[in-house]
Every structure is written in C-alpha cells, then in structure tokens.
A and B are shown apart, each in its own frame.
Chain A
Amino acid sequence: MSDLAMDAPYRPAALDRAEQGLLGKPIDRYEGPLKVSGAAPYAYEQAPEGTAYMAVVTAAIGRGRVTGIDAAAAEAIPGVLTVIHGDPRMPAGEGNSRAMPAMGSDEVFHYGQGIALVVAETQEVAREAARRVTVHYDEQPGRFDATAVEVQQDHKLGFLPPVNRGDLEAALAQAEVVLDRTYTTPIHFPAALEPHATLAWWEGDQLLVRTSNQVIGGAKGTIATALGIDKSRVRVQAPYVGGGFGGKTGVGQEAIFAAIAAEAVGRPVKVALTRRQTAYMVHHRSPTTQRLRIGCDREGRISAIAHESVAYQNDDSAFLEPVPFGTLPLYAGEARRFRTDLARIDLPATGAVRAPGEAIGTFAVECAMDELAEQLGLDPIELRRRNEPTRDPTTGKRFSTRRLLDCYDEGARRFGWDKRETTPGSRREGEWLIGMGMAAALRGNFTVQAEAEVILGADGRATVKTDMTDIGTGTYTILAQTAGEMLGLPISAIDVVIGDTDLPPSAGSGGSFGAGSACAAAALACEDILTELGLRMNAATDDLRLKDGQVTAGARTTPLADLVRGSPIAAKGKTTPGKESQATSQASHGAQFAEVAVNAVTGEVRVRRMLGVFDIGRVLNEKTARNQIVGGMVWGLAYALTEDAVVDPRNGRFVNPDFGEYHVAVNADVPQIEAYFIEEIDDSANPVGAKGVGELGIAGSGAAVVNAIHNATGVRIYDMPVTLDKLLSSLPPV
C-alpha cells in the first residue's frame, strides 16, 4: 500500500504527464442515468421482501422525564408487531465518532426527541399506532429562549479554542476608525430533501444497515458503540444519499432504533422520518449573535479585529458552531480576538450544517467590511485588498495557495463592478431599486486520512473502491476521472464502487474534504499500479505513456488488457495529514458578487444576478464543481432572504418545521448564476491538489446579497434573513 503522509508538498508525477485528459473535464456524472431514471436506490428503497415498517414516537414536552409509556392501544391495532421503549441501547439523540448521546435514559432533552418505536406490517399502521402510544411525563421548566439564558465563556465545547492576540482594547482605542456592529443569524435546517431513513436487518450476528448518511465509516463505529457490539459485526451501506448538508454526518436515533427493532422482530425493518420529525431529530445550525469590531487607520489598514459570538447547544450534545472560523485567516490586523460563547438551552441539538462557521460568520464579517468601506469612502474591494495578508494573520503560518486578490479582480471585471453606483439608493427602474454588492468567500481546507483500492482487472477495466459516499458531490465521477487519468483509461472503462463499509475506509463526505482525500488515495493506488505496469513492460515507470487503454514505453505500445491478462493488479493508496498540513494555512477562496432589485413599495427582494470567482485548487470536474459552488451560492441567497426556523420560546417547539413555512429557495428565486475558477493546484493540500468546493459557495454569498440590498436602498439590516418587514419602514414613501 502506498501510504503517504503530507509531510511535504506532493503531486504524483503520473498526473503531470497524464495524457488521457479526463481529470478536471466537465464530463457527465457517472451515475447520472441511474438518477434520472429513478433506478438509483436510496436508503428506504429496494428493501428485501418481508421488511417491516417502523415509526418513531416523539416527546410532546420540551424538558423533563418520561415516567411511563402505555402502548396497549397501539399494540391492539392489527398489524402492529411490537412497541419498544426503555431499551438501554436507545440513544436520546444523535451520536458520532466524537460524542455519544445519553443512552437508555428517561430524560427528555427537547421536544420531538424520539422516545419509543413502533414496528408494523405497513407504513400506515405503524404511523397510526405511534400516534396511539400514550406517554406520561414529569414535565420540567425548560430553557427555550436562547437570548434569555446565561452565557458561558469558560466552556470546553467545540474544536475552535478562543484566540487572543495582542491588546485588542488598546488597539481599538488607538484606531482612527472603529466599526462596532452586532449581527444575528437564525436557526437553519439542513433540510436535505431525502428525509433521514434507515433499513436495518440482521444476518446471524451481523448487522446490516442501509442508511442515509454522509460518513459511513464513522456511522459503523457509532452504531456498534450504541448497540454494545464489536465494530466488525456492523456493515453500513449508503450507495446513494439524497443530500446531507451536514445533517447526515452523525447517526440519528432512528438508525439505532431500526437496528433494535429488526432484532426484536427478526425481520428487516425500515424507517423514514416524517418531514416535521426531521426538524427535531436532526441537528440544526445554531442561531448566533455576532459582535464584530474592526479598528483601522483612515486608509483602511486594519490594526484590530474581533469576532465574538454566542451560539447554543443542549445538555446532551457536544458540538459548538465555530462561528469565526472563516474570519481567522481572512484579514490582516495585529490585535485579534475570536471566541464563541455558549448558551445552554433545551432545544434539539445544534450541529454542523454546510460550512459550519463560515456560512454565517462570513455574513457578519463581510457585511462589516462593506460598512467600514463606506465609512472610509473606499471601494469595498480596495479595502479588502489593503488588508490582504501575506501569511495567516492568526497563526503566522504560510498560506499553501491563496488567490483571493485574483478572484476579486476577475470577479469585478466579469461582473461589471465598475458600474456599481457608489451612492446607495440612487439607481431605480420603475418600482425597483437596484444595487450591487460583493463579499469575500473563504472556507478552511482540511487534509484527512483516506484509503482507496484500485483494481486493474483482467479485462483491462479498472475498479475504484472506497467507503466514500456521494451525496450529490460527484464522488463517483471524480474517482473515475482520477483513475482514468492515472491509468490512461476512458471513463467507460472505469467502475466505481463506494458507499459500503466493507470497502477501504475514507473520510466520508463532510467538511468539503471528501473529494480531495478520496481522489488522492485513489491516485496513490494508481501510482502503485503504474509501478507494476512498468515492471511488466520492462520499462521505468516514468517512461510509461498511457492513453485509451494503450501503454507505450519508448517504441513499444501494448494494450493495457494484455499486460494484466490472467494477472490483475490491485493496489491500495492511503493519504494522511502530515507536517506540511500542519505547517500551512489552507483554505479555498473566492469573491462573490450580487445584483439585487428591491421593490420600493413592498420591500420584496429579488436577486437578479450572482457571480463568483473561486480558487479551489485543482478542479476535479468542472461541471460538478461549478454546480456545487452555484448550489452553495443559492444557499447564501436563501440565508440572506428567507431561511429562518423559529422557536416558540414558550415550549421549545418549532413554529415552522416544514417546507411550507421554512422557506428554502425555489427555482423562481434563483437567477442564472455564473461561477468561474482560478485554478492553482495546491500540492500542500493533498496529492491531487484539490481543495474544498461544497461549502465555499455559501461563504460570503449571503453577505454579497445583503450588501447589494444596502447599495440599492441605503438600508443596513443586521439580522438575517432580510425579509421585507425589516426593510419596509426605510423604503421611500409610496
């Protein structure tokens, strides 16, 4: 096995001399025909004959204890197989490889927590029986208003410790210009369109779980821990995942419940959460209060920057939104303070939702920069340019690659930034006020451990195997492209097998690290195959030329299939973080631009144009990468304008836990969006030089929209989303 720690920049030589021309190309998705024809199986589908249906009974109180459960009425319904509660293996919430929830507890941490399960012959019976289960509670007062609880500064939650560099208060006191603003962001649901679903069955003492999950390697361990069995007895599959967005990084209650239920009834059992249940049983993004303080001189050179926030979490969970994560390396400034304080509440768990930290942190810092530029009389891009650091301003580490200035320049040119009116509220077309805004985008890049196996088969076809998932991210396709590029094979000669923990372990899909790490592992495996092919060709590996299934060494050309006939070659690759990962500050970057129209009568906002230019390292597939980036930009648009999950502070229930009233963007909200890449292969990131894509598009895009709203109207709104009621009082009279 090729086992490469990123102790130094590394790029396989074979990638540089590759002739197949596959990697990076905008080829169609490998699994596309299966998806568009409805043949791709998601977790709940293509279940074995005899599969029973499960429904979850959820807590009707916001805080307290379950004192008794009366299942008689449910059990009396024909078709009900069993009602299960009080099993010590039942988790109270979501688990993951870093933290497990309370197990076998009678404690209710929040409304909508799963507390019992019903198994029945049909879905209709299971659902109705769940409604007939009577639960008795000892209800206790709950903390449902995050703004009314005590804020803890000395907590140990989250992966981002506070940063204090220099004397912030002194630097602010000395600064010629100081901006001090507080921003708020609401709860965001990940809201994957496929609800959390699991199919579980036992074969002897082996548990098989087909589940909608982003990180199945982690899920396998979490499930084993919850059930108190050895990991080797659990196999998790997720061949297709209907969107994750962070919400499927852990293992939800329903997955463990399904395994327990399948054991109890001796049959396969499947469950899908109802849409309203997903609001409670799946974690959401914490609402935040973010205070931004920036001090600078009259030329805009920042001397002090502070990004201090409050996020919340319940008593059963360990995550904390890393709000300033994207701000840490963004701008220069000697005195720096970054911290996120904790409010403990009795609401469903908060957790990682697409671009944790950056998605909302960049909203605050990028709106603040826009306002600061206005105060200084500077173009917003010029202010950013003056504060572009040459090393990571927080850690002092060198940047691996950073093309942010080029993103600004190319974005401004393509968008027509020079046509922006510098005086807010001065461009009107009929009822509509028109404005432009921009923002920087930044998402930290992670190097993580991943393995893949590549088998060059006797028929000359290659198969890539890893337990990665494809949650819409293009994993199938880019793995095929990587192997095809390395081995000189057309895409039609590659098979990709993923989404099964029996395959070599990957990092899974999360944190935008999946593509780079999995493709890197595959490329390393291919390097070993090339070494073996060199031996078989009796040539130096570096002298091999591979294209369209032919291997050429010097004057000799041989079909690849002839070299492996009767003797396939299998190789594994593994990539891990190393000294270079530690020594460098790594991120994807971009510049976001938006043009909005604000209705002068109603305050309705329509985004007319969005454009972004992004630096994501190597582009693995231009088509899928662009689609993902654009999708992220749309998330930013919806965060800016509509997405807002509201808690009823009287009881801890969501007011709008469905798609009817939690407004994700619809097609009509979204204009044609342009996204471009400035490609610089980042050899410090991983062996394929690719950095994260999936989360970058959200970073800054909401701020660009909100800054454009200011440019259109002269109004600054500090709490997301900018719904029309917040603009109304500042609009011109009718």
Chain B
Amino acid sequence: MRFTINGSKREADPDIRASLLDLLREEFRLTGTKKGCDHGQCGACTVLVNGRRINACLTLAVMHQEDDIVTIEGLGSADNLHPMQAAFVRHDGYQCGYCTPGQICSAVGMLDEVAKGWPSHVSDDLSSPVLDEAEISERMSGNLCRCSAYPTIVDAIREVHDA
C-alpha cells in the first residue's frame, strides 16, 4: 500500500487490523503522534489527512491508500518549528508534552476550518463565526490535556490566528 506521509511517498503492508495510528507509530516510527486512549476520546493521535484533522486511532490504515497524511513531524522539526509549534513553546501551551503534537495538529486543522468559515457549537451566528477565546476552547475540546494547560494552549492558538 502507498501513502504520502509528510510529503514523501511511503509504502507498507499493514496488518488488516492496524489503525492509522499504529501504522504511523510502529511501522513508520513516526512516534510524534501519540496514543492516549486508542478510542477517539482524547485527541492525542490527531493528524491531518487530506488536510483535515482526524483521530488516527479510529481509522484503519488500509483505508488510507494514496492518502496525504501530515503528522507533527511534517509540520516542523525542533530546529525549524512551524509557527504553531513555536507559539506553543512561547506560551508554554503544554507541560508533559504527551498531548502536545495532537493539540498542535488539531490547532492547525482547526484554523483551516475557521478560514473556511465553519461554525462551532458556541458560534452565535452560524454564518459568520468570530474566533474568540470561547470559540478556540470549544473547537479544541477534542484534545484533552490532563496537565490542563488549556489557557496557554488557547493563548498560543490565538496568537497564530491573529498573526
């Protein structure tokens, strides 16, 4: 099977039962994508598939033939950070770091949704949502942070959005 992962063509022959998350972590050794619950309840495994943020744990690897997958490693590296990664460092939008790659991928995907004009549960006007702190919090609620660095996560995302 072929995938495009972080811009590179990659091939693998995954177990039919393997999730996209396990393919990334165990086969391609892209361990930046984390497993927190394996059941779509924490968001630590968030990656971008064909530009959309999804939980990599709740999808089968075999269903992603030819898909374009971007993981945290594809956004930036330690010495060449993506603006969202840099903002998380600057604002201390993390503590233990385990949920962080998922938070960052989710934030990047979320801002793209905002750019498309997608509303959220807390949008007063479904047709023209305005991204304030409550909107960011709602849209990021699929990413648990047990250290509970939520306020600084919001600060980081807001800075990137406003830039």
Contact = CB atoms under 8 A, between A and B. Distances in A.
A binds B: yes
Interface of A: 28-29, 31-42, 44-46, 122-125, 128, 191-195, 240-245, 272, 274-275, 471-474, 623-624, 627-628, 630-632, 634-635, 658-660, 664-668, 670-673
Contact of A240 (B79, B97, B146, B147): B97
Interface string B120-153: 0010000000000110111011111111111111
B10 interface: no
A668 B138 contact: yes
Nearest to B40: A660
The majority secondary structure among interface residues of chain A is loop
Contact of A36 (B35, B101, B145): B101
Contacts of B150: 634, 665, 667, 670
A660 B144 contact: no
Interface string B80-100: 010001101110101111111
B95 A670 contact: no
A128 B152 CA distance: 40
Contact of A242 (B22, B26, B39, B96): B96
Nearest to B136: A667
Nearest to B88: A36
A192 B41 CA distance: 13
A195 B140 CA distance: 21
A124 B17 contact: yes
B24 to A, nearest CB: 10
Given A38-B32, A627-B149, A193 B98 contact: yes
Contacts of B154: 667, 672
Contacts of B104: 36
Contact of B94 (A36, A245, A275): A36
A274 B44 CA distance: 14
Given A243-B98, A275-B41, A667-B140, 20 more contacts: A28-B89, A31-B97, A33-B85, A35-B97, A37-B101, A38-B31, A45-B31, A46-B29, A128-B17, A192-B146, A194-B96, A472-B96, A474-B95, A628-B95, A630-B148, A630-B151, A631-B148, A631-B149, A665-B150, A672-B133
B107 to A, nearest CB: 11
16 contacts: A32-B88, A36-B81, A37-B72, A128-B17, A192-B96, A193-B42, A193-B144, A195-B36, A274-B38, A275-B36, A275-B39, A624-B95, A631-B148, A658-B41, A668-B134, A671-B151
A631 B147 contact: yes
Nearest to A128: B17
A401 to B, nearest CB: 26
A40 B138 contact: no
B98 A39 contact: no
A33 B78 contact: yes
Contacts of A123: 22, 26
Contacts of A628: 95, 147
Contacts of B142: 666
Contacts of B22: 123-124
B31 A37 contact: no
B46 to A, nearest CB: 12
Contacts of A634: 148, 150
A29 B92 contact: yes
Contact of B151 (A45, A274, A673): A673
B34 interface: yes
A499 to B, nearest CB: 13
A28 B137 contact: no
B93 to A, nearest CB: 8
A124 B18 contact: yes
A670 B89 contact: no
Nearest to B26: A123
Contacts of A667: 136-138, 140-141, 143, 145, 150, 153-154
A193 B141 contact: no
B158 to A, nearest CB: 10
Contacts of A635: 148
A592 to B, nearest CB: 15
Nearest to A274: B38
Contacts of A660: 39, 41
B1 interface: no
B152 A193 contact: no
B148 A36 contact: no
Contact of B96 (A37, A128, A471, A671): A471
B66 interface: no
A597 B22 CA distance: 42
A85 to B, nearest CB: 25
Given A36-B100, A672-B151, A28 B76 contact: no
B31 A193 contact: no
B26 A472 contact: no
B15 A659 contact: no
A39 to B, nearest CB: 5
Contacts of B72: 36-38
Contacts of B96: 192-194, 240-244, 471-472
Contacts of A664: 144, 146
A192 B96 CA distance: 9
